[in-house]
Amino acid sequence: MKGIWWKVLGIILVAYSIIMGLLGEVPRLDILNETIRVLYYHVPMWFSMIAMMLLSVIFSILTLGNYSFNRDLWAYEFARTGFLLSSLGLLTGMFWAQFTWGSFWTNDPKLNGTAVTMLIYLAYFVLRGSVEDPQKKARLAGVYNIFAFVMMIVFIGILPRLTDSLHPGNGGNPGFNQYDLNSDMRPIFYAAVVGWILIGLWISQLRSRFIKLSHEE
Amino acid sequence: MKKLWQVISLNFRLEFRERRSYFSILIYVLSTVYLANLVFMQSLSIESWNAFFWVIFLFAAVQAAFRSFSYEADQRFLLYYGMIAPEKLILGKIIYNFIYLSLLALITVLVFGFFMGFPIASPLAFITVLILASLGFSAILTLVAAIAAKAGNNPALPAILSIPLLYPQILTLSKLSLRGLSGFSWEVNSSLLIVLALLALVSLLLSYLLFPYLWRD
């Protein structure tokens, strides 16, 4: 992606979601109350994380088809950015859970899914760290990344649907589905999702440029 | 088909030549089971029985399956390369590991039951779960063993790489086996059994498709 427009757009969208997220009208609901605003800060992290991981796995598939240093680098950097976003999502979620469910950690399927995703990608980073030869590294990491992505989707997308979850919108507890993102909240939420995806792209681009520069030296 | 059979029988012959690997896995199971026995010192509830059994079996399986590529990463790969298609090699290895892990599961149940008792209400269901588990484990562990063998000798790598990938299966099958311990209804649990079988199938397919990218150098 060329040009500066998408970076500016990303900053504007994220700034909009942060400011309006604090100032905008939200419905008054039992238990959730004002904490519903976490929707703007927590959920977009997962959306953008999935987007980053998807990009990462696409570049891994490309690398397996035809190796190039750049493709492998992109796969790695997108996975790193995805990991950063998932850490932020976990932190915001834990903070919210402490005030809503009364504990930082519960054995909720979605939380398990997050923990597993983070462990899988940590393993991916360890694997990359333990191979020297760049081509071999790209191949091994590519294979693992594809496997990891499929298992992540199974874990966070399919298994939770088979069990109850504490999360709003699942398993019959007060949730976002009840009022289905009322019309005041929807634009801010979507702005946050798009904005964070753009910021994620930007971070990955900066990182990969940095690596390329230090590599050429 | 003939080639496939050759890979399987070759593996059995090679491993049998190094019998101490079988014995070391056996001793591993014995000592971990006895450790659980020492720590608990009393009869277990079925929940703890289930949890302990699967943790012990999981680690034994990782140990056992990791051997499948450990001493042939470089030299023998070259030999195989001219003789056999990679798809057949991985299928043969997976079938070998499936047989191996099924036997290991059986032995683990016997040893574990000897010390901890057999609180198994419906043995048929429990055995079904064991076989499905061995199938899914062997598919994932064989591919990960190949990755780890190629990545060099980092002793922690097989466990780090494989355990997060196994979480979806472990979560499903521990739930199923707990029901197998407390009384099993085939109608109620058929959907979970199908999920478990599908997970094993997906892992099998991924290993089959991705392995050819791994081994060429």
Evaluate if residue B7 carries a pLDDT over 50: yes
Q: Test B147 with A131 for CB contact under 8 angstroms.
A: no
Q: Which letter, b or e, does each residue of B76-106 get, where b requires 16 or more Cβ atoms within 10 Å of its Cβ? A: ebeebeeeeebebbbbbbbbbbbebbbebbe
Which range among A4-8, A119-123, A126-130, A180-184 shows the weakest confidence by mean pLDDT? A180-184
The predicted structure's pLDDT at residue A171: 45
B-chain CB neighbours of A143 within 8 Å are: 143, 147, 210, 213-214
The pLDDT tens digits of the residues spanning A26-38 come to: 776 666 667 777 7
Evaluate if residue B216 carries a pLDDT over 50: yes
Q: How confident is the model at residue B98 (pLDDT cuts 50, 70, 90)?
A: very high
Residue in B140, B143, B164 nearest the CB of A119: B164
The pLDDT tens digits of the residues spanning B49-92 come to: 888 899 999 999 998 888 777 666 556 666 676 777 888 888 88
Q: Test A147 with B206 for CB contact under 8 angstroms.
A: yes
Interface residues on B facing A, Cβ-Cβ cutoff 8 A: 140, 143, 147, 150-152, 154, 157, 160-161, 163-165, 167-168, 171-172, 191-192, 195, 199, 202, 206, 210, 213-214, 217
Distance of alpha carbon B2 from alpha carbon A151, whole angstroms: 33
The pLDDT tens digits of the residues spanning B140-174 come to: 999 998 888 888 767 788 888 999 899 888 888 88
The pLDDT tens digits of the residues spanning A87-139 come to: 998 888 888 888 777 777 777 777 777 888 889 999 999 999 888 888 888 99
A93-98 LR contacts (CB < 8 Å, sep 24+): A93/A38, A93/A42, A95/A38, A96/A35, A96/A38, A96/A42
Instruction: Give the residue-averaged pLDDT of B194-203.
Output: 89
Q: How confident is the model at residue A163 (pLDDT cuts 50, 70, 90)?
A: low
Domains identified in chain A, total number = 1
Q: What ipTM does this complex have?
A: 0.86
Pinpoint the alpha helices (H) of chain A: 5-23, 38-41, 43-65, 69-100, 109-129, 134-153, 176-179, 185-216
Give the CATH number of the domain where residue A15 resides: 1.20.120
Classified as helix, coil or strand, A166 is coil
Q: Test B161 with A123 for CB contact under 8 angstroms.
A: yes
The pLDDT tens digits of the residues spanning B113-141 come to: 888 888 888 888 889 899 999 999 999 99
Higher pLDDT: B111 or A22? It is B111
Per-residue three-class SS string for B44-98: CCHHHHHHHHHHHHHHHHHHHHHHHHHCCCCHHHHHHHHHCCHHHHHHHHHHHHH
Distance of alpha carbon B57 from alpha carbon B106, whole angstroms: 10
Evaluate if residue A2 carries a pLDDT over 80: no
Domain assignment of residue A64, given as a range: 5-216
Which range among A111-120, A169-178, B96-105, B144-153 shows the weakest confidence by mean pLDDT? A169-178
Query: Do you know the residue count of chain A?
Result: 217
A-chain CB neighbours of B154 within 8 Å are: 126, 130
Which range among A6-15, A20-29, A95-104, A158-167 shows the weakest confidence by mean pLDDT? A158-167
